[in-house]
Amino acid sequence: MDDFIERVDIRDRVAVGRAALAAFDYAQAADCLGDAVRDDPHDPDLRYLLALALLGGTRPRLHRSEWIKEIGVHLRHAAELPRARVLSALVAEDHGLHWLPSDALPERLAALIAQVSPSQADEIVLHVPAPESGVWRAVRARCQR
């Protein structure tokens, strides 16, 4: 019975975390999703959502390197998800200002972005504003909006 109660509690925190993320309440989303990750650290979806929440609706280059490293840990734990690998590439590119030379995307990265659904692309573009980034622009092109 206790296990059932814990699973319901985790689902409630995930639901509240998702709702907070959708409402751009990044602090609440990070709190709820962080609790859920502590309870289920091997869930790649939770890790991905927590990384989005930790970015706080702010482009990666505006965050401290230590914060980006923490976000990177969550994205590495979610690396089985194409959207997490795309978000990781976006974070790395924008935080490192690698978009300044504005080269074409590597073929492997373009193929990875093609695996992201339009709704997943919407989510990334909505919560991670980095329009100068080549990765961001490629993800934006996948959006359904």
Inter-residue contact 82 to 116 (CB < 8 Å): yes
Tracing tokens 């990384």 back to the chain, one arrives at 51
CB atoms within 10 A of CB 102: 10
Closest of 67, 75, 87 to residue 47, by C-alpha: 75
Does 3 have pLDDT greater than 90? no
Helices assigned H by DSSP within the chain: 2-22, 26-39, 44-55, 65-77, 82-95, 107-114, 118-127, 134-142
For the chain, what is the mean pLDDT? 89
Structural domain boundaries of the chain?
2-142
Structure confidence by residue, pLDDT tens digits, 60-78: 999 999 999 999 999 999 9
- Percent of the chain exceeding pLDDT 70 equals 88
Instruction: Give the domain 2-142 fold.
Output: 1.25.40
Instruction: Give the CA dihedral 88, 15, 29, 34, nearest 10 degrees.
Output: -70
